[in-house]
Amino acid sequence: MQNKKGRLHGNDKRKPLSNGSEGNSLAHTSSSPVAVVGLAFRFPGDLGEEGDFWSALKSKCDLVTRIPEDRWAAVELQHNKRSEPGRSITFSAGVLSRIDAFDAGFFGISPREAAWLDPQQRLLLELAWEALENAGMPPSRLAGTDCAVYVGISSLDYGTRGLDDLASMSSHSMTGNTLSIAANRLSYVFDLHGPSLAVDTACSSSLVALHHACRALQTGEASTALVGGINLLLHPYPFVGFTKASMLSADGRCKAFDASGNGYVRAEGGAVLLLKPLARAIADGDDIKAVILATGVNADGARKTGITIPSRDGQAELMRNVLAKTNLFAQDIDFVEAHGTGTMVGDPIETAAIGAVYGQGRETPLPIGSVKANLGHMEAASGMAGLVKSILALQHRALPPQLHLETPNPHIDFVGLNLQPVTDYRPLDKQTPLVAGVNSFGFGGANAHVLLREYRREEERAFIPEVLPPLFLSARSDAALRALASRYAERLRNSSPADYYDIAYAATYRRDRLEKRLALYAKTPDEAAEKLAVYAQDNAPDGLVLEEQLPQSGGVAFIYSGNGAQWVGMGLRLMVESPAFADILAELDARMQPIAGFSLLAELQANGGASRLDDTVVAQPLLFAIQVAITRLLKAQGIEPLAVAGHSVGEVAAAWACGALDLDVAIRVIVARSRAQGETRGTGRMAAVGLSVEAMQAVMAELGEALDITIAGTNSPKNLTLSGSLADLERAQSHLAPKGVFFRLLELDYAFHSRQMDPIRESLLASLAGLETRTAAGTAFVSTVTGGELDANQLGAEYWWRNVREPVRFSEAIATLGELGCRSFIEIGPHAILQRYIGECLTSIGTKGRVLPTLRKEADGWNTLVEAALRAHLLADQPNLGAYFPQPGRRVQLPNYPWQRERHWHPRTSESLLSIERRRVHPLLGWRIPEAAHAWENTLDPTVLPWLADHQVGGAIVFPGAAYAEMALAAAREWLGGEALAFEEMDIVSPMVFD
């Protein structure tokens, strides 16, 4: 196990798969390969899982549907003639659902800001997080580094919607709707300090962004990079514009390479990749998805007949340049994912370039394809879609069939170019690593090309644990944690112990720890899955513990309880359930018996009648032994205290726990202390009272100077322990009873921390003469004698006399622990008796902390101790979990974070024009005119209303009289309401004749 801020999987290294030396050196060059180590995407049909996307491709799924009517009045804005002003010929599209919903709270974004945050920025935030999850890279590990961000983006649809309602704009409108911020926001939210750029080259934006990201890695400008592309369809303006440019398919399908290709269909979605230099990724043991061998960009310039016409020469030149950066030949390329929009102009030009560079000189035709047939054209993000498809093809070593390819485009010489669109699912059988080309070009002539290579991982050896480790999960909210638990339950069902270990390891070390936290322990993976499923239904199964991140971060304090924690039968259940606990007690028995003169095991197992726990000579060593055993078990589970403190006799175990006393020396102290105090039995009693020191001193003054009562301890600011004669304690009790003050006599036949201890001073000091202490190893000892921190060399014989005689300054000690940075307080003893006191102390000093018990009376089994350890781990900032995970787990994919999305949409004021949402109140009556009380307007078109075209008089299309009557009735219903309406004396002054 390496340090928690380092790489927790550093020995999980793989060798590069190549016939050269690339990847063996950490030095970067301008041609160094780049590894894709993480990816996330959201494609039409809400595809976001690699398996689901590959299945969709393999089964030739058509994921193109239509723009939902709730985005704008699509029916009103569509027309079957391209020339119709203000209308689109189609609103077919590949779409995502719930684009208005976002988990703003997860990213610390207020609802007010989220309302004006472009959904493209929202989706990029989600995808960036998911890409890091996919890479097994906790985002906190990237924070503050030189990680670069490059985003391909070209649409400002959301901001364009705001132009309809300028009064609704807020202070967040510009940062929410400026292209540059798309990249900058990722850098801001994740605290990334490398280059941060938004790239707009239209349809090639995301691959151009990829090129620049690779260059930043190769030149050393950044050590990692997030790169992606995004495109959402939020306004009809581009539909109308591309309709006028004759780019959109009238039948709403991308039919790449097909004779019927008549344009493209728009689509939305996005993807984000996490990149590293290949050598670094190998050294870090990353899960490498694919290797980027080379990238390139160029422009067509004037080598074409129009700005939107692609250039064969421009694309071919780029492909040759990119190929030249590798040590490959054209015949080494196994397939090319083309831009392939399905246009009659673009497809022949692009395939001619691909064939000229990669098709010639091959023994077999080069397979080509285009994912746009399945998804539609994601425009600025389209290169990412082709890239993800290609990565999956490399991983599956197969090519999915091309959709909508019925008749090859006669304008493409497939035979002469030696190209072959993939028509059936095709496995790729090749001994050496596969290589893919991905092509993309923008409609302004900006071209991008990428060469990808398969990466073959060495098979990792499974680790089969004897006992399943705990599973640690976390989320931002309770609802998200339950949803995450449900996903893990599904993931764990029917898994093997080795698989469970890998999942638990990855969930622990390859995910960030968020505010709401869960830990569970189980004997089998199926039992773990069942517990998670029960919790997901808002229930509380055994073996599952929940904690929330503390408001103030800090370390752990071990608090050792004092007299009063012991009980007959303590530790017996734990001895049965934990062989380790029993072994520790056996060791202590062997060490202690020659000195104490009795067997602690025998005393622990004594029944009620034979028990001597009321004798402090026996009780103190037994309490000490239980505390030592608990401490060892906690430390064996990785719980290490920042500081320790003990209440009265608990200080002996605390001094041992911090390393100030050797175990045998601590045994000597506890035996000497208990024997000496045993001599005082019957000389007084003790009591607990709910008063402050000042209030109690006032009471004592009222009761007279001869009062034999001493304040023996300040447990909290308003809770004290008293010692003295029984008669005077009862006097004080009677005095306080009418005032309703809490007062309870303790079942102890001793008056510790009072003058009744004075007679044993010399004997105790003599028995501890020459006591040797050690230097504590990094754990602070906070004294309840002084209330402050002490060095080990201050814990000699004189100190232990003070421990017996002076009051227990527990409240002051807890305040000191808070100042030292302790925030989790674990009470160590057979029963929790200090919980309330610690909580009151923390409240009094304004410290937010958590108080945990270890064992409780009648709940002192192994599970109780395990839960205490798990809670401590959940509360810790950087827990040491190496005891559960002796070696790294294999790389596995975990469930993604379950976003808790809520609707966030730009606000609307009374000034809103609602131009894109204007819908007819009636097919004939049309739209209400806002400026008039009872007036409507409409556009009637026989090409849109076929029944109207059928009504002809003398060969001319004439608006029917019945339609006038229907319009009048519709107006009356809108104006007057009701169902039964009549009108009289309708005159048609002149016919309405259509051209």
List, as one string, the DSSP characters of 465-508: -SSPPPEEEEESSHHHHHHHHHHHHHHHTT--HHHHHHHHHHHH
| H helix runs in 712-794, sequence order | 726-736, 761-767
Q: Kindly list the distances between the CA atom of residue 223 and the CA atoms of 35, 130, 388, 751, in Å, as whole numbers in the listed order.
A: 12, 19, 22, 67
User: Where on the phi/psi map is residue 985: left (φ > 0), alpha (ψ -120 to 50), or beta?
Assistant: left
For residue 355, give the DSSP letter.
I
Element containing residue 377 per DSSP (H, E)? none
Q: Are 927 and 936 in contact (CB under 8 A)?
A: yes
Active site residue 203: yes
d(CA 764, CA 974): 101
Residue type, 677: Q
Q: Select which of 377, 449, 753, 904 is catalytic.
A: 377
Query: Using CA atoms, how far apart are residues 314 and 300, in angstroms rounded to an integer?
Result: 5
> Backbone dihedral region of 22: left (phi > 0), alpha (psi from -120 to 50 degrees) or beta?
beta
Question: How many Å apart are CA 645 and CA 653, to the nearest integer?
Answer: 9
* Contacts (Cβ under 8 Å, ≥6 apart) of 913: 164, 165
Tell me which of 61, 203, 214, 841 is the catalytic residue. 203
Cα 229 from Cα 95, distance rounded (Å): 16
Tell me the H-state helices in 845-979.
Answer: 862-875, 946-949, 961-976
Residue 922 annotated among the catalytic residues of the structure = no
| Nearest Cα to Cα of residue 364 among 437, 427, 418 | 418
Beta bridge partners of 958: 993
Burial class (CB in 10 A: 0-12, 13-18, 19+), 861: middle
Tokens of 959: 């608006």
Distances (CA, A) of 696 to 622, 700, 712, 754: 33, 6, 12, 16
φ and ψ of 977, to 5 deg: 75, -175
Catalytic annotation, pick one of 212, 339, 449, 873: 339
DSSP result, 902-935: EE------TT---TTT---SBTTTBEE-TTSSS-
| DSSP 3-state of 662 | coil
| 172 counts as catalytic | no
Cα dihedral: 812, 818, 824, 825 (round 10): -10
Q: Indicate the length of the chain as a whole number.
A: 995
Closest of 336, 332, 333 to residue 399, by C-alpha:
336
Stated as kind and residue range, the H or E segment containing 346 is: helix 346-354
Tell me which residues are annotated as active site. 203, 339, 377
